[in-house]
Amino acid sequence: MNAHTLMLVDDHPMMRRGIRQLIELESDLVVVGEASNGEEACAEALRLAPDLVLLDNNMPQLGGLETLKRLRDQGFAGKILLFTVSDAESDVRDAMRFGADGYLLKDMEPELLIARLRDVLGGTLVVSPSLATVLAQALRTPQSAGSLDLTEREHQVLKGIASGLSNKMIGNTLGIAEGTVKVHVKNVLHKLGLRSRVEAAVWALEHLR
């Protein structure tokens, strides 16, 4: 099995070195690049096309959130995971709206970080447990639980997203092709006025009870 490729973005060399050393112990993960600022991160991510970018938020000049937004605007399709000390509601909200695949705080145990990296690579939304309530509050939307005329299949796909399932896993559960799931996900996001499956997951947790 080919190893998943990662890029580390942090303005602290010691932090990058520590994470790299941690990842180097895993046979299924490999660091293919590093960046110390947002500008460099955007250029390197587009050049290297890693499977996942582990992105610090608090960096000089171009911060993590701005880097995230720029990468998505430039068409970067890999996973992007915010890894930061900030638990500010506005940062969590903006990260999700700009297309992050998760938001983790740096006070977590090293072994747990590795597990969460694998979760993200597998298509699962990851958020530090202490931020779950913050995330739900930040992304709460006034739309009704009527789900804006979602079809029954779209409801099923939405529930799969809320459960942290990847498109392939949702397809296997529902007995439909992964490509069909992607179409349904796109339609769900459009109907709910959301930008990412992370927002859709939070929306579902708030409204589909």
pTM value is 0.68
pLDDT at 157: 92
Q: In this structure, are 20 and 121 located in the same domain?
A: yes
Instruction: Kindly state whether residues 156 and 121 are assigned to the same domain.
Output: no
Q: Which domain holds residue 203?
A: 147-207
Contact 178, 105 (CB under 8 A): no
Q: What is the pLDDT of residue 147?
A: 45
Residue 29 shares a structural domain with residue 103: yes
Are 81 and 153 members of one domain? no
Q: Are 36 and 118 contained in the same domain? A: yes
Per-residue pLDDT at 32? 96
Instruction: Examine the fold and report which residue of 83, 114, 138 is the final residue of a domain before the chain moves on.
Output: 138
Give me the number of domains the chain comprises: 2
The Cα–Cα gap between 185 and 179 comes to 10
pLDDT in tens, 83-114: 999 888 888 888 887 888 889 999 888 889 99
- Residue-averaged pLDDT of the chain: 86
Please give the Cα distance from 11 to 35 (Å, whole number): 8
Banded model confidence at residue 146, pLDDT cuts 50, 70, 90:
very low
CA atoms within 13 A on the CB side of 155: 11
